[in-house]
Amino acid sequence: MKCIIDRRAQFSASHRYYLPELSEAENIERFGACTRFPGHGHNYVLYVSMLGDLDEYGMVLNLSDVKHVIRQEVTSQLDFSYLNDAWPEFQQTLPTTENIARSIWKRLESHLPIVNIRLYEHPELWADYLGNNMEAYLTISTHFSAAHRLARPDLSFEKNCEIYGKCARPNGHGHNYHLEVTIKGEIDPRTGMIADLVAFQKAVDDYVVEPFDHTFLNKDIPYFEKVVPTAENIAVHIRDLLEDPIQQIGARLYKVKLIESPNNSCEVFGASVSDVMPLLMREPAFAGA
């Protein structure tokens, strides 16, 4: 029987985004504060996902052996390092989150049956790499607070209450929505990025967070004057709002995940996505979050 197991590891390291072929001004324009000398640091959290058959002892792999491999090949070399100098490839391609994930895959693939590398730079930014040449996934998470009422205007109050329960009450109710947006693209062989992270964050802020935050969705967002703002419909609308802006920064929108509450969330995929991968829907808890 096939089974996927995850092994968690962590390391602390610093890095700097700076290309010597660019001027100081050009580096600052492209990378912002990340160009500052001598760099900045993160507490990285790594999840290594492995696929295999259960053996007679009920294991895919001996986790002690897995721990040793990850420590020997990755964390012992990266922990308390300056990433730009830690591995030779980071002198050719900057050590971005997505490029580090790819490099970790390259060092582990001959030792472990890996199917995904997920690397958290911090709890609101992470990358996934699945072994497909230069292709990677980058996710940012953010939040907004908003109120809504679940009710169709063509139905009676009694009928809406029958369908939506307490959520149909006239004055509505609110949530602290948690939003995760995942993009997909090719890692640039020089910058190490699949897209400009600042532009990615700005697109999410400009098209979603700022317009949606501290609103009554039914009244303040025109789309929801005729569409019931369920978590599913909100996620679909966010997907539609972000498709073009994400494309303009050179990536593809892969997935929008909206968490309405700890008990209620939904995911929708980009309009052009045909490779819906269950692995990317598995969310290992971020230790310390």
Q: Distance between alpha carbon 156 and the CA centroid of its chain, in Å?
A: 41
Q: Distance between alpha carbon 274 and the CA centroid of its chain, in Å?
A: 18
CA distance 200 to 182: 10
| Residue found by looking up tokens 């996902």 in the block | 49
Which has the closest alpha carbon to 126: 181, 185, 67? 181
Is residue 183 within 8 A of residue 254, CB to CB? The reply is: yes
Which has the closest alpha carbon to 134: 109, 101, 110, 112? 101
Which positions are annotated as active-site residues? 167, 214, 260
| Residue found by looking up tokens 């991968």 in the block | 277
CA distance 197 to 206: 14
- DSSP state, residue 188: P
198 by Cβ neighbours in 10 Å (0-12 / 13-18 / 19+) ranks as middle
Three-class HEC string of 146-205 = EEECCCCCCCCHHHHHHHHHHHHCCCCEEEEEEEEEEEEEECCCCCCCCCCHHHHHHHHH
Element (DSSP H or E) covering residue 278: helix 278-281
Q: Give me the DSSP letters along 135-157.
A: EEEEEEEEEEEEEE----TTS-H
CA distance 179 to 213: 12
- DSSP state, residue 207: I
